Amino acid sequence: MVFQRVGFIGLGNMGYPISLNLLRSGYKLVVYDIVGEKIEKLVNEGATGAHSPKEVAELSDIVMTSLPTPEALEEVVTGQQGILEADRVELTLIMLDTIPPATARKIALMASRQGVNVLEAPVSGGPYLAREGALTIMVGGDIYVFEKCKPLLEKIGRHIYYVGEIGTGSVVKLINNLLSLGNVALMCEAIVLGIKAGVNGRTLYEILSKSTGRSFALEYKLPNIIAKRRFDSGFAINLACKDLGIISNLAKELGYPLFTGSLIEQLYRLARAIGLGHEDHTAVVKLFENIAGVTVEF
C-alpha cells in the first residue's frame, strides 16, 4: 500500500526538511505548525496548509509528527482539535519525536481505541542529514504497519531499523542521544585542555581524527560547527536538557544508577543556566573555554 496523502505536524529544524523531501518525492502533503509563517513556507513549496492537527488528520491517510517535547506531542494527538478528534478510519500516526517509551505506549493505546495505527520512528542525523533524506530511523510498533509504511520512511531515511514493540524505538534513540551528547562534552573538554597546554587546535584535530580517540563529534562537529563558531542552529542545549531528563527518568524507573549520564546532564544544565539554552548543543564548549581562558578556533 502506498500512502498518497501525508500530513506533517511540526515544521522546525527537522520537520521542515523532512516535509520538503516528502513533497519532492511526490506525496500530497498537508502541514501544520503553531507558527503560521512555517506553514506558509511549505505552502509556497506546494503543500496544503491546515488550521489544526485535527484538520491534518482529516485530510491525510498518514500523519507524521516532529515536535520538541512529549507534552507538545500529547497535546497535538489527544488535545482539543487534536489528531484523535478526527473521524478517520485506518489512519496511521508516525511519531518522529524523541519521547519517553511510556509516552509512546500511552499514545498508541489511546489511538488504538479509535482504530488509529501508531508507529514510533525517532530519527538521528540532525538537520543536515534530514535535508539529504539520509536519516537513521528506529521504528517501534506493529511489524505489519511498519512494512506498509517503510516505502514512505525510505524517502526520508537511509538506514531504517525495525526494533520491536512500541517503546523500543524510543529507547534506542535515547541511548543514542546519551552517547552523542556525552561524546560532544568529553571531546570539548579534551580539546580545550590540549589548546590550554599549548598545542594548536588544528593540529589536535588532524592527529586525533586519525587516532583511537576519534568520534563523529571530533570529526564533524569540531571543524564544522565549533571551530567555525556556528552555534546558531541545530540541536539546542534546551532540547539536550530535555532529552537527558527523559534518559535520567528512564534510568530511575528501571532502578539503574546512571553515573556518567548524570554528570553529562548536569554539564548541559549548567550551560543552559548561564544563558546558552538556545544555542547548539556544541556550545557546551564555552563552559570549558571560560575555565581555560582559550577559544577553540582554527
What pTM, to 2 d.p., does this model score? 0.94
Spans of the chain, pLDDT less than 50: 1
Grid cell of 56 as nine digits: 491534518
Max CA separation in the chain (angstroms)? 66
Number of residues assigned to the chain: 298
The counts of H helices and E strands in the chain are: 13, 9
- In this predicted structure, what is the pLDDT of residue 113? 93
- In this predicted structure, what is the pLDDT of residue 215? 96
Pairwise CA distance, residues 118 & 105, whole Å: 9
In sequence order, what are the residues at sequence separation of 6 or more whose Cβ sits closer than 8 angstroms to the Cβ of residue 22? 6, 8, 29, 152, 155, 156
The predicted-structure confidence for 61-76, as pLDDT tens digits, reads as follows 999 999 999 999 999 9
Would you say 169 and 143 are in contact if contact means Cβ atoms under 8 Å apart?
Answer: no
- In this predicted structure, what is the pLDDT of residue 145? 97
Pairwise CA distance, residues 195 & 101, whole Å: 41
Long-range contacts of 268-273 (CB under 8 A, 24+ apart): 268/181, 268/185, 268/237, 268/240, 268/241, 268/244, 269/241, 269/244, 271/237, 272/237, 272/238, 272/241
The predicted-structure confidence for 218-242, as pLDDT tens digits, reads as follows 999 999 999 999 999 789 999 999 9
HEC string for 45-93: CCCEECCCHHHHHHCCCEEEECCCCHHHHHHHHHCCCCHHHCCCCCCEE
Known catalytic residues are: 173
For each of the domains in the chain, give its residue range(s) and CATH number, in order of start. Answer: 5-164 (3.40.50.720), 171-292 (1.10.1040.10)
DSSP summary character for residue 297: -
Grid cell of 85 as nine digits: 478528534
Print burial letters for 90-116: b (CB count within 10 Å at least 16), e (below 16): ebbbbbbbbbbbebbbbbbeebeeeeb
